A = this chain, B = another copy of it.
Amino acid sequence: MQAILCAPGAIIARLNPRQKKVNNLRQKTQHLRAAAAPAAAVEASELDFGNYIADKNKAIEQALSDSVPEMYPERLHESMRYSLLAGGKRIRPCLCIAACELMGGTMEVAMPTACALEMIHTMSLIHDDLPSMDNDDFRRGKPTNHKVYGEEMAILAGDALLSHAFEYIGRETPKSVPAERTLRVLVDVGKCVGSEGLVGGQVVDIMSEGADADEVTLETLKYIHAHKTGALLEVSVTSGAILAGAKEEDVERLGKYAQLIGLAFQVVDDILDCTQTSEQLGKTAGKDEAVGKATYPSLVGLEESKKIADDLITEAKELLRDYDPKLAAPLLGLADFIKNRQN
């Protein structure tokens, strides 16, 4: 697949007919999006999620900072902290805590796992950005880890964050939680990172890059999204529920909710990559097309992609219908937030 110019800074290349169609759709929908954005911004449940994040934010940031202290070897811990504490929306920790609270647990019970999930997410970003991988210079508006600390330190900081995540769940989860539950969470988290999870999705993603668009099917794209992004979001929700002692059917239902919003998240990510500027995103825009990556807009067009995202979000919210609306509000709000986000 050849590169498409879809945002300032992206590579300009010769367009094939399919890409021209996508590009036209993009321009058309961007217009619609601009008109729709203000209305979406006041969606009630999205405000709930915003309030929830604001409410938990201080505790999460403090816990994250405490989880990786400044100690010897200083440079390694500095490198780990540089990326772990670089901001971000902390969606995974919030999901974990919200699911735990929805199932009758407390923030304290979920917090070590919430932090561990952010460590794992951070590890995946550090390694993804490496020169031999996506070769990204900026992340969340700051130079990437390897640009600041060098490639070898970035690899090792990622490794340390990954192993620390497991240690942290096992060591810091309150002893009031039965060991069997914590053990199950550790197994689930391990699976969601490895070859059947995040890393598996990343490998298929890499192998699909530059391939002819016809070779990358919607099935492959779904596999990539379900594993690269979905798995960690899913375990964020299910681990919170498990730690709270939720019934099996509730764990399954919440897992399904997370799969749906995870897929929606990625579809929206694909849409944003070719409709927003680098400034709006805080990272290089238009990169998917520039490297010939299969995306929802490139496979089914921009309007159909938008419809898919909306349907996924509707279905996800439907799953939460029978829970206490007050406790379910953050998860409902997150769904709308994902649908409406601009970066």
Assuming the contacts A132-B151, A203-B73, asked whether A183 and B190 have C-beta atoms less than 8 A apart, the reply is: no
Near B by CB (< 8 A), chain A positions 118-165 give 123, 127, 130, 132-133, 150-153, 155-156, 158-165
Q: Which of B76, B153, B163, B202 contacts A190 (CB 8 A)?
A: B163
- Residues on B with C-beta less than 8 A from A72 are 200
Answer yes or no: A44 CB below 8 A from chain B CBs: no
Q: Are A160 and B76 in contact (CB under 8 A)?
A: no
Alpha-carbon gap, A2 to B109, bound state (A):
54
Alpha-carbon gap, A73 to B151, bound state (A):
26
Assuming the contacts A73-B207, A127-B159, A193-B163, asked whether A170 and B186 have C-beta atoms less than 8 A apart, the reply is: yes
Interchain nearest-CB distance for A171 vs B (Å)? 5
Q: Are A76 and B166 in contact (CB under 8 A)?
A: no
Assuming the contacts A159-B162, A164-B194, asked whether A200 and B73 have C-beta atoms less than 8 A apart, the reply is: yes
What 0/1 pattern do residues 61 to 97 of A give for CB contact below 8 A with B? 0000000100111011100100000000000000000
Answer yes or no: A199 CB below 8 A from chain B CBs: yes
Q: Are A156 and B73 in contact (CB under 8 A)?
A: no
Q: Are A155 and B132 in contact (CB under 8 A)?
A: yes
Q: Are B195 and A164 in contact (CB under 8 A)?
A: yes
Interchain nearest-CB distance for A207 vs B (Å)? 7
Alpha-carbon gap, A206 to B206, bound state (A):
30
Q: Which of B130, B158, B207 contacts A75 (CB 8 A)?
A: B207
Answer yes or no: A59 CB below 8 A from chain B CBs: no
Assuming the contacts A73-B203, A203-B76, asked whether A166 and B166 have C-beta atoms less than 8 A apart, the reply is: yes
Answer yes or no: A167 CB below 8 A from chain B CBs: yes
Assuming the contacts A130-B155, A152-B133, asked whether A199 and B167 have C-beta atoms less than 8 A apart, the reply is: no
Assuming the contacts A132-B155, A202-B156, A203-B156, asked whether A191 and B162 have C-beta atoms less than 8 A apart, the reply is: no
Instruction: Knowing that A163-B193, A170-B184 touch, tell me 15 more A-B residue pairs with CB under 8 angstroms.
Output: A75-B207, A76-B203, A80-B195, A132-B150, A132-B155, A153-B206, A159-B199, A160-B195, A163-B190, A163-B194, A164-B195, A165-B190, A179-B179, A182-B183, A183-B186
What 0/1 pattern do residues 192 to 225 of A give for CB contact below 8 A with B? 0111010110111011000000000000000000
Q: Which of B77, B155, B186 contacts A155 (CB 8 A)?
A: B155
Q: Which of B123, B132, B153 contacts A203 (CB 8 A)?
A: B153
